[in-house]
Structure 1
Amino acid sequence: MYITITPQKIGGNYSKSAAGFVAYLEKENQELTPDEMEHFFNQYEDHISADKVTREIDGNTAKLEKTEPRFYSITVSPSKYELKQLQNNSEDLKKYTRELMKDYVASFNREINGRPVSIDDVKYFAKIEHSRSFKGSDKQVRENQPFASEILKLKSEVRKINRGEMQGSIADREQRIAQLEKQAPHRQNGERIVQGMKKEGSQSHIHIIVSRKDASNRFSLSPGSKYKASSVELNGKIVRRGFDRD
């Protein structure tokens, strides 16, 4: 199981709305029928609409500065071995997410109104996806890029020759293109891996969007705290702070 926690975005001012990120998480549903779609869920509800997710996250940002993230993104990536153990892929991952979020709140070394942070103090929404695509930053795409660039150049030359804009042999260029396709170091199902290509095999994973503010919109709960677990004296009182990312 591999888990990452990242702020809304890195650097500069943060967008006032979660709409863009929510729309990104809806991308997989665009290719599915209504019966196949995965919907947002939280600790107690299923089938939550994207509009409600955006409205709830955007409406829970009291007193946050422009330079502070409105929400954090948690990505949970089970291994292929772990995915094979599931009996009901989506339902099992939902159950796992709800248990995971209990561990998430237990990782905060602080109190709200004199008690530990509880699952009811966080505002989060999660979504399961079952496919992944190769990104430009992936090793396979990066190492294939020199071949892709040369193929693109040759294909451009073929078009120019066809239009009479340059002289040369189309057959020679097509032969070279075929050679480059075979020489590219990374292939999937016989095809050169390119950015945007769907990854084969079981790729189910979970995206979680969690508000920076607690459910009451009064307290800040940041998993990005630079403190792991410590206490500090503030106005004569001992205040607990930090988040244990382990």
Structure 2
Amino acid sequence: MYITITPQKLGGNYSQSSAGFVSYLEKENEGVEEVAKEHFFNQYEDAITPEEVVKEIDNNTAKLKKKEPKFYSITVSPSKYELKRLQNSSKDLKRYTRELMKDYVACFNREIDGRPININDIKYYGKIEHSRSFKGTDRQVRENQPYATKILQLKSEIRKIETGLMQGSIQKREKEIEKLEAQAPHCQDGKRIVQGMPKAGNQSHIHIIVSRKDASNSVSLSPGSKYKAS
């Protein structure tokens, strides 16, 4: 299990709304039938709308300054072994998340109104995703990039030859492209790995958005004053 905690921050400024991040987490639901969609959930509810998440997070920011994050993002990535052990992926991941968030609360090791903080003192929403795509920063994409650059150049030359802008052999360039595709160090299902390509296998993981303020909107809860991204 690999877990990262990231403070809300976009560029040099903090957004005053969680709408952008919530919209990003809805990307897998685009074009999917209602019965197949993954909805937001919290400790007690299973079908929370994106609009409700934005409203609850955005309205829970009392006394936070413009330069302070309004929420934190937690990403939970089970290992391949752990994913194989799941009987019902979504149901089991939700149950795991709810137990995980109890541990998250316990790690604050503090009190509110003279009592130990508990799960009901935080405001969070989880979202399960079942796919991942290769990013430009992934090692496979970076190490394939020199081959991608040469292939792009050859394809550009082919278009110029076809339109009469330059002379040369299209067949020769096509063979060179085939050779480069075969030489690329990282392939998946027989194809060169490129940015945006979906990763194979079970890629289920969990995104969690946690309000910076407690559920009463009166206490600030930060993972650490000397916070590191992971």
- Normalising by the residue count of structure 2, what TM-score does the alignment of the two structures yield? 0.96
TM-superposed CA distance for 1:32, in Å, is 2.3
Listed as ranges, the matches of 1:188-199 within 5 Å are 188-199=188-199
What amino acid does structure 2 have at the position aligned with 1:80?
Answer: K
Aligned CA RMSD, in angstroms, stands at 1.5
Listed as ranges, the matches of 1:29-178 within 5 Å are 29-178=29-178
For residue 181 of structure 1, what is the aligned residue in structure 2? 181
TM-superposed CA distance for 1:109, in Å, is 2.5
Distance, in Å, in 1 between the alignment partners of 2:11 and 2:118 is 30
Q: Secondary structure at the match of 2:35?
A: coil
TM-superposed CA distance for 1:225, in Å, is 2.6
Say whether the 8 Å CA contact 1:7–1:69 is kept in structure 2: yes
TM-superposed CA distance for 1:168, in Å, is 1.3
Say whether the 8 Å CA contact 1:13–1:68 is kept in structure 2: no
Distance, in Å, in 2 between the alignment partners of 1:158 and 1:65 is 56
Distance, in Å, in 2 between the alignment partners of 1:161 and 1:12 is 46
Listed as ranges, the matches of 1:201-240 within 5 Å are 201-226=201-226
Count of aligned residue pairs for this structure pair: 229
CA offsets 1:15-51 (integer angstroms, 9 cap, x no match): 0111111011000111422111100000011110001
What amino acid does structure 1 have at the position aligned with 2:4?
Answer: T
Distance, in Å, in 1 between the alignment partners of 2:140 and 2:205 is 20
TM-superposed CA distance for 1:115, in Å, is 1.3
Q: Secondary structure at the match of 1:225?
A: coil
Unaligned runs of 5+ in 1: 228-244
The alignment status of 1:7 with 2:15, answered yes or no, reads no
Of structures 1 and 2, the one scoring higher in RCO (CA 8 A, sep 6+) is 2
Q: Secondary structure at the match of 1:172?
A: helix
For residue 236 of structure 1, what is the aligned residue in structure 2? none
Say whether the 8 Å CA contact 1:133–1:199 is kept in structure 2: yes
What amino acid does structure 2 have at the position aligned with 1:138?
Answer: D
Distance, in Å, in 2 between the alignment partners of 1:9 and 1:180 is 39
- Residues 31/185 of structure 1: CA separation in 2 closer, same or farther (3 Å cut): farther
CA offsets 1:175-223 (integer angstroms, 9 cap, x no match): 1111111010000000000011111111110000000011111110001
Distance, in Å, in 1 between the alignment partners of 2:33 and 2:188 is 27
Distance, in Å, in 2 between the alignment partners of 1:86 and 1:185 is 32
Unaligned runs of 5+ in 2: none
What amino acid does structure 2 have at the position aligned with 1:95?
Answer: R
Distance, in Å, in 1 between the alignment partners of 2:38 and 2:57 is 19
Give identity over the alignment, percent: 73
Q: Secondary structure at the match of 2:76?
A: strand
